[in-house]
Structure 1
Amino acid sequence: MLSRVMPSNVEIKAKVSDLPHFSEMAAQLSQSEGTIIRQRDTFFNCSQGRLKLRDFMNGSGQLIFYERPDTDGPKLSRYSISPTNDPQSLRTVLSDALGIKGEVRKERRLFLVGQTRVHLDTVEGLGNYMELEVVMRPEQTVEEGQQVAEDLMEQLGVSKESLVTGAYMDLLLKGQEDA
Protein backbone atom coordinates (compact mmCIF):
# COMPACT_ATOMS: atom_id res chain seq x y z
CA MET A 1 0.00 0.00 0.00
CA LEU A 2 1.30 3.44 -0.89
CA SER A 3 1.62 5.74 2.04
CA ARG A 4 1.13 9.42 1.45
CA VAL A 5 1.49 12.45 3.60
CA MET A 6 -1.87 14.09 4.24
CA PRO A 7 -1.90 17.86 3.77
CA SER A 8 -1.97 19.73 7.05
CA ASN A 9 -2.74 23.08 8.54
CA VAL A 10 -2.48 24.75 11.91
CA GLU A 11 -5.85 25.94 13.10
CA ILE A 12 -7.17 28.30 15.75
CA LYS A 13 -10.85 28.88 16.50
CA ALA A 14 -12.27 31.62 18.72
CA LYS A 15 -15.56 33.30 19.61
CA VAL A 16 -15.94 36.78 18.08
CA SER A 17 -17.68 39.32 20.29
CA ASP A 18 -17.19 42.40 18.08
CA LEU A 19 -18.08 41.31 14.55
CA PRO A 20 -17.65 44.72 12.80
CA HIS A 21 -14.24 45.30 14.41
CA PHE A 22 -12.92 41.83 13.55
CA SER A 23 -14.27 42.14 10.01
CA GLU A 24 -12.54 45.50 9.57
CA MET A 25 -9.20 44.16 10.89
CA ALA A 26 -9.37 41.08 8.62
CA ALA A 27 -10.25 43.27 5.61
CA GLN A 28 -7.27 45.55 6.31
CA LEU A 29 -4.83 42.65 6.70
CA SER A 30 -6.08 40.86 3.58
CA GLN A 31 -6.64 44.08 1.61
CA SER A 32 -10.00 42.71 0.50
CA GLU A 33 -13.62 42.65 1.60
CA GLY A 34 -13.52 38.86 1.76
CA THR A 35 -15.57 36.26 -0.13
CA ILE A 36 -18.96 35.14 1.24
CA ILE A 37 -19.51 31.38 1.17
CA ARG A 38 -22.69 29.65 2.38
CA GLN A 39 -22.06 26.15 3.72
CA ARG A 40 -23.98 23.26 5.14
CA ASP A 41 -21.70 20.68 6.76
CA THR A 42 -23.15 17.25 7.48
CA PHE A 43 -21.07 15.22 9.92
CA PHE A 44 -21.20 11.43 9.71
CA ASN A 45 -20.45 8.84 12.36
CA CYS A 46 -16.97 7.41 11.88
CA SER A 47 -14.57 5.43 14.05
CA GLN A 48 -11.69 7.92 13.99
CA GLY A 49 -11.29 11.59 13.14
CA ARG A 50 -14.19 13.46 11.58
CA LEU A 51 -15.95 12.95 8.26
CA LYS A 52 -18.08 15.75 6.85
CA LEU A 53 -19.76 16.60 3.61
CA ARG A 54 -19.57 20.31 2.86
CA ASP A 55 -22.41 21.46 0.61
CA PHE A 56 -21.80 24.90 -0.91
CA MET A 57 -25.53 25.16 -1.71
CA ASN A 58 -24.76 25.67 -5.41
CA GLY A 59 -24.55 22.08 -6.68
CA SER A 60 -20.95 21.59 -5.57
CA GLY A 61 -19.39 20.24 -2.42
CA GLN A 62 -16.48 18.48 -0.78
CA LEU A 63 -16.16 15.32 1.24
CA ILE A 64 -13.60 16.08 3.96
CA PHE A 65 -11.93 13.75 6.43
CA TYR A 66 -9.78 15.31 9.13
CA GLU A 67 -8.05 14.54 12.38
CA ARG A 68 -6.95 17.08 14.98
CA PRO A 69 -6.73 17.28 18.76
CA ASP A 70 -9.54 18.96 20.72
CA THR A 71 -7.45 21.58 22.48
CA ASP A 72 -7.62 25.36 22.44
CA GLY A 73 -4.85 27.38 20.83
CA PRO A 74 -2.99 26.43 17.65
CA LYS A 75 -3.33 22.77 16.69
CA LEU A 76 -2.22 20.66 13.75
CA SER A 77 -4.99 19.28 11.57
CA ARG A 78 -4.41 16.59 8.91
CA TYR A 79 -7.03 16.26 6.20
CA SER A 80 -8.01 14.85 2.84
CA ILE A 81 -10.63 16.32 0.51
CA SER A 82 -12.58 14.97 -2.45
CA PRO A 83 -14.73 17.34 -4.56
CA THR A 84 -18.25 16.34 -5.58
CA ASN A 85 -20.77 17.73 -8.06
CA ASP A 86 -23.64 15.90 -6.39
CA PRO A 87 -23.50 16.56 -2.64
CA GLN A 88 -27.15 15.55 -2.13
CA SER A 89 -26.83 11.97 -3.41
CA LEU A 90 -23.48 11.55 -1.64
CA ARG A 91 -25.16 12.74 1.59
CA THR A 92 -27.88 10.09 1.13
CA VAL A 93 -25.35 7.27 0.56
CA LEU A 94 -23.15 8.27 3.52
CA SER A 95 -26.20 8.77 5.74
CA ASP A 96 -27.45 5.26 4.88
CA ALA A 97 -23.98 3.74 5.43
CA LEU A 98 -22.73 5.61 8.50
CA GLY A 99 -25.57 7.61 10.03
CA ILE A 100 -25.58 11.37 10.57
CA LYS A 101 -23.95 12.81 13.70
CA GLY A 102 -25.30 16.31 13.03
CA GLU A 103 -25.35 19.34 10.80
CA VAL A 104 -23.73 22.79 10.87
CA ARG A 105 -25.06 25.65 8.75
CA LYS A 106 -22.98 28.78 8.41
CA GLU A 107 -22.21 31.82 6.38
CA ARG A 108 -18.46 32.20 6.04
CA ARG A 109 -16.52 35.27 5.00
CA LEU A 110 -13.10 34.19 3.76
CA PHE A 111 -10.07 36.49 3.84
CA LEU A 112 -6.60 35.45 2.65
CA VAL A 113 -3.62 36.77 4.62
CA GLY A 114 -0.33 35.32 3.37
CA GLN A 115 -0.52 31.52 3.78
CA THR A 116 -3.49 31.80 6.15
CA ARG A 117 -7.19 31.47 5.46
CA VAL A 118 -9.04 33.76 7.88
CA HIS A 119 -12.69 32.72 8.27
CA LEU A 120 -15.33 34.90 9.87
CA ASP A 121 -18.24 32.52 10.47
CA THR A 122 -21.81 33.17 11.50
CA VAL A 123 -22.97 29.74 12.66
CA GLU A 124 -26.69 28.94 13.01
CA GLY A 125 -27.44 28.23 16.66
CA LEU A 126 -23.98 29.31 17.90
CA GLY A 127 -23.16 32.88 16.86
CA ASN A 128 -20.01 34.48 15.47
CA TYR A 129 -16.62 32.81 15.36
CA MET A 130 -13.33 33.18 13.59
CA GLU A 131 -11.00 30.46 12.38
CA LEU A 132 -7.43 30.82 11.27
CA GLU A 133 -6.13 28.06 9.02
CA VAL A 134 -2.40 28.33 8.36
CA VAL A 135 -1.93 26.15 5.27
CA MET A 136 1.38 24.45 5.96
CA ARG A 137 4.13 24.33 3.35
CA PRO A 138 5.94 20.95 3.17
CA GLU A 139 9.17 22.34 4.67
CA GLN A 140 7.48 24.11 7.59
CA THR A 141 7.48 22.77 11.13
CA VAL A 142 4.35 22.70 13.27
CA GLU A 143 6.01 25.30 15.52
CA GLU A 144 6.46 27.69 12.57
CA GLY A 145 2.79 27.27 11.65
CA GLN A 146 1.78 27.90 15.25
CA GLN A 147 3.88 31.07 15.33
CA VAL A 148 2.20 32.36 12.14
CA ALA A 149 -1.22 31.66 13.74
CA GLU A 150 -0.30 33.33 17.04
CA ASP A 151 1.11 36.43 15.31
CA LEU A 152 -2.04 36.79 13.23
CA MET A 153 -4.23 36.20 16.27
CA GLU A 154 -2.47 39.13 17.94
CA GLN A 155 -2.84 41.38 14.87
CA LEU A 156 -6.57 40.60 14.75
CA GLY A 157 -7.00 41.31 18.46
CA VAL A 158 -8.14 37.78 19.34
CA SER A 159 -7.69 37.07 23.06
CA LYS A 160 -6.62 33.71 24.46
CA GLU A 161 -9.81 33.77 26.59
CA SER A 162 -12.00 33.65 23.47
CA LEU A 163 -10.36 30.47 22.10
CA VAL A 164 -12.58 27.41 21.76
CA THR A 165 -11.84 23.71 21.42
CA GLY A 166 -13.42 21.24 19.05
CA ALA A 167 -15.50 21.70 15.93
CA TYR A 168 -18.75 23.67 15.53
CA MET A 169 -20.50 20.29 15.50
CA ASP A 170 -19.10 19.54 18.98
CA LEU A 171 -20.21 22.94 20.28
CA LEU A 172 -23.73 22.42 18.89
CA LEU A 173 -23.98 18.91 20.38
CA LYS A 174 -22.67 20.17 23.73
CA GLY A 175 -25.28 22.96 23.65
CA GLN A 176 -28.04 20.36 23.17
CA GLU A 177 -26.71 18.38 26.15
CA ASP A 178 -26.62 21.53 28.34
CA ALA A 179 -30.16 22.57 27.36
Structure 2
Amino acid sequence: MIEVEVKAKIENFQDMEKKLENIGALKSKKEFQEDIYFNSPIVDFANTDEALRIRTTRENESENIFITYKGPKIDSKSKTREEIEIAIEDSEKCSGIFQHLGFSMVRAVRKNRQYYKYENFEISLDDVEGLDPYMEIEIALDDGADYSDAQDKIFELFSKLGVDDGFERTSYLELLEKLY
Protein backbone atom coordinates (compact mmCIF):
# COMPACT_ATOMS: atom_id res chain seq x y z
CA MET A 1 0.00 0.00 0.00
CA ILE A 2 1.12 3.56 -0.72
CA GLU A 3 0.08 6.09 1.89
CA VAL A 4 -0.30 9.58 0.41
CA GLU A 5 -0.21 11.82 3.47
CA VAL A 6 0.20 15.53 4.08
CA LYS A 7 0.46 17.09 7.53
CA ALA A 8 0.16 20.73 8.57
CA LYS A 9 0.29 22.68 11.80
CA ILE A 10 -3.07 24.32 12.55
CA GLU A 11 -4.09 27.16 14.85
CA ASN A 12 -6.46 25.16 17.06
CA PHE A 13 -8.78 22.18 17.00
CA GLN A 14 -12.06 24.02 17.64
CA ASP A 15 -11.88 26.22 14.52
CA MET A 16 -10.83 23.31 12.34
CA GLU A 17 -13.63 21.11 13.67
CA LYS A 18 -16.13 23.81 12.60
CA LYS A 19 -14.53 24.05 9.14
CA LEU A 20 -14.65 20.26 8.74
CA GLU A 21 -18.30 20.22 9.79
CA ASN A 22 -19.08 23.03 7.31
CA ILE A 23 -17.75 21.03 4.34
CA GLY A 24 -19.64 17.91 5.42
CA ALA A 25 -16.79 15.87 6.91
CA LEU A 26 -18.06 13.29 9.38
CA LYS A 27 -16.41 12.39 12.67
CA SER A 28 -15.65 8.69 12.52
CA LYS A 29 -13.76 7.85 15.71
CA LYS A 30 -11.51 9.19 18.44
CA GLU A 31 -8.64 7.19 19.84
CA PHE A 32 -5.49 7.39 21.88
CA GLN A 33 -2.35 6.16 20.12
CA GLU A 34 1.01 5.24 21.56
CA ASP A 35 3.77 4.62 19.04
CA ILE A 36 7.03 3.04 20.18
CA TYR A 37 9.71 3.64 17.54
CA PHE A 38 12.77 1.45 17.00
CA ASN A 39 16.03 1.87 15.15
CA SER A 40 17.74 -0.89 13.21
CA PRO A 41 21.07 -2.44 14.23
CA ILE A 42 22.01 -2.52 10.52
CA VAL A 43 21.08 0.95 9.23
CA ASP A 44 20.11 4.18 10.93
CA PHE A 45 16.45 4.77 10.05
CA ALA A 46 16.97 8.52 10.59
CA ASN A 47 19.42 8.43 7.66
CA THR A 48 17.39 6.09 5.43
CA ASP A 49 14.08 7.89 6.15
CA GLU A 50 12.39 4.65 7.25
CA ALA A 51 10.39 3.91 10.37
CA LEU A 52 9.54 0.83 12.43
CA ARG A 53 7.03 1.15 15.22
CA ILE A 54 4.66 -0.69 17.48
CA ARG A 55 1.37 1.20 17.67
CA THR A 56 -1.17 0.60 20.41
CA THR A 57 -4.56 2.21 19.89
CA ARG A 58 -7.28 2.59 22.49
CA GLU A 59 -10.85 3.53 21.66
CA ASN A 60 -13.31 3.21 24.53
CA GLU A 61 -12.65 -0.30 25.90
CA SER A 62 -11.06 -1.60 22.70
CA GLU A 63 -7.29 -1.98 22.24
CA ASN A 64 -5.48 -2.86 19.01
CA ILE A 65 -1.74 -3.34 18.46
CA PHE A 66 0.15 -3.17 15.15
CA ILE A 67 3.69 -3.36 13.85
CA THR A 68 4.19 -0.80 11.09
CA TYR A 69 7.07 -0.40 8.68
CA LYS A 70 7.22 2.85 6.68
CA GLY A 71 9.57 3.09 3.74
CA PRO A 72 11.44 6.21 2.66
CA LYS A 73 9.38 9.16 1.41
CA ILE A 74 9.06 9.01 -2.36
CA ASP A 75 8.54 12.69 -3.20
CA SER A 76 9.55 16.14 -1.99
CA LYS A 77 6.09 17.62 -1.29
CA SER A 78 4.46 15.15 1.09
CA LYS A 79 4.99 12.14 3.31
CA THR A 80 4.01 9.68 0.55
CA ARG A 81 5.61 6.31 1.23
CA GLU A 82 5.12 2.58 1.30
CA GLU A 83 3.48 1.32 4.47
CA ILE A 84 3.22 -2.27 5.66
CA GLU A 85 1.22 -3.03 8.80
CA ILE A 86 0.23 -6.20 10.64
CA ALA A 87 -1.79 -6.78 13.79
CA ILE A 88 -0.09 -8.39 16.79
CA GLU A 89 -1.23 -9.51 20.23
CA ASP A 90 1.37 -8.20 22.68
CA SER A 91 3.42 -5.01 22.36
CA GLU A 92 5.79 -5.83 25.23
CA LYS A 93 6.70 -9.26 23.82
CA CYS A 94 7.17 -7.77 20.36
CA SER A 95 9.37 -5.03 21.81
CA GLY A 96 11.39 -7.72 23.59
CA ILE A 97 11.89 -9.63 20.33
CA PHE A 98 13.01 -6.45 18.54
CA GLN A 99 15.49 -5.65 21.31
CA HIS A 100 16.90 -9.21 21.35
CA LEU A 101 17.48 -8.83 17.61
CA GLY A 102 19.48 -5.66 18.21
CA PHE A 103 16.84 -3.04 17.51
CA SER A 104 16.94 -0.13 19.93
CA MET A 105 13.94 1.75 21.26
CA VAL A 106 14.10 5.40 20.17
CA ARG A 107 11.08 7.16 21.67
CA ALA A 108 7.40 6.89 22.45
CA VAL A 109 5.02 9.27 20.70
CA ARG A 110 1.60 9.65 22.34
CA LYS A 111 -1.39 11.40 20.84
CA ASN A 112 -5.13 11.76 20.93
CA ARG A 113 -6.45 11.56 17.38
CA GLN A 114 -9.89 12.58 16.15
CA TYR A 115 -10.69 11.03 12.75
CA TYR A 116 -12.96 12.46 10.08
CA LYS A 117 -14.12 11.03 6.76
CA TYR A 118 -14.63 13.26 3.75
CA GLU A 119 -15.12 11.74 0.30
CA ASN A 120 -12.16 9.33 -0.03
CA PHE A 121 -9.98 11.25 2.44
CA GLU A 122 -9.12 10.28 5.99
CA ILE A 123 -8.53 13.40 8.05
CA SER A 124 -7.11 13.41 11.55
CA LEU A 125 -6.74 16.15 14.12
CA ASP A 126 -3.71 15.22 16.21
CA ASP A 127 -3.09 16.36 19.77
CA VAL A 128 0.48 15.07 20.19
CA GLU A 129 2.09 15.28 23.64
CA GLY A 130 4.73 18.02 23.43
CA LEU A 131 3.67 19.50 20.05
CA ASP A 132 1.29 22.12 18.68
CA PRO A 133 -2.00 21.05 17.02
CA TYR A 134 -1.65 19.25 13.68
CA MET A 135 -3.96 17.95 11.00
CA GLU A 136 -3.17 15.11 8.61
CA ILE A 137 -5.03 14.28 5.42
CA GLU A 138 -4.33 10.99 3.69
CA ILE A 139 -5.45 8.66 0.95
CA ALA A 140 -4.35 5.02 0.68
CA LEU A 141 -3.50 3.72 -2.80
CA ASP A 142 -2.54 0.33 -4.17
CA ASP A 143 1.17 -0.31 -4.68
CA GLY A 144 2.38 1.11 -7.99
CA ALA A 145 -0.53 3.57 -8.33
CA ASP A 146 0.20 7.11 -9.48
CA TYR A 147 0.02 9.24 -6.36
CA SER A 148 0.45 12.73 -7.88
CA ASP A 149 -3.29 13.27 -8.51
CA ALA A 150 -4.15 12.14 -4.97
CA GLN A 151 -1.49 14.46 -3.59
CA ASP A 152 -2.91 17.44 -5.53
CA LYS A 153 -6.41 16.68 -4.21
CA ILE A 154 -5.09 16.62 -0.63
CA PHE A 155 -3.51 20.07 -1.06
CA GLU A 156 -6.80 21.32 -2.61
CA LEU A 157 -8.68 20.08 0.47
CA PHE A 158 -6.22 21.79 2.80
CA SER A 159 -6.78 25.03 0.86
CA LYS A 160 -10.56 24.57 1.07
CA LEU A 161 -10.12 24.34 4.85
CA GLY A 162 -8.04 27.55 4.89
CA VAL A 163 -4.65 25.89 5.38
CA ASP A 164 -2.10 27.16 2.87
CA ASP A 165 1.09 26.94 4.94
CA GLY A 166 2.55 25.16 7.95
CA PHE A 167 3.06 21.94 5.99
CA GLU A 168 5.44 19.48 7.62
CA ARG A 169 7.13 16.50 5.95
CA THR A 170 8.85 15.28 9.10
CA SER A 171 7.21 12.77 11.41
CA TYR A 172 6.00 13.50 14.91
CA LEU A 173 8.96 11.43 16.11
CA GLU A 174 11.39 13.71 14.24
CA LEU A 175 9.65 16.85 15.50
CA LEU A 176 9.91 15.64 19.09
CA GLU A 177 13.54 14.60 18.61
CA LYS A 178 14.36 18.16 17.51
CA LEU A 179 12.79 19.57 20.69
CA TYR A 180 14.30 17.19 23.25
Which residue is 1:157 aligned to? 162
Q: Which of 125, 128, 140 pairs up with 2:130?
A: 125
Query: RMSD of the alignment, in Å?
Result: 2.2
Q: Which of 99, 105, 112 pairs up with 1:95?
A: 99
Which residue is 1:60 aligned to? 64
Q: How many residues align?
A: 169
Separation in 2 of the partners of 1:140 and 1:148? 15
- Kept in 2, the 8 Å contact 1:71–1:166? The answer is no
Separation in 1 of the partners of 2:163 and 2:77? 11
Q: Which of 6, 21, 32 pairs up with 2:26?
A: 32
Amino acid across the alignment from 2:155:
E
Separation in 2 of the partners of 1:72 and 1:27? 31
Instruction: Return the offset for 1:139.
Output: 7.9
Which residue is 1:135 aligned to? 140
Q: Structure 1 residues 70 and 13, CA, compared in 2 at 3 Å: closer, same or farther?
A: farther
Q: TM-score w.r.t. structure 2 length?
A: 0.84
- Kept in 1, the 8 Å contact 2:8–2:168? The answer is yes
Which residue is 1:15 aligned to? 9
Instruction: Return the offset for 1:70.
Output: 8.9
Amino acid across the alignment from 2:84:
S
Instruction: Return the offset for 1:114.
Output: 1.9
Q: Structure 1 residues 31 and 81, CA, compared in 2 at 3 Å: closer, same or farther?
A: same
Q: TM-score w.r.t. structure 1 length?
A: 0.84
Where 2:168 maps in the other structure, the secondary structure is: coil
**Matched residues, percent identical?**
21
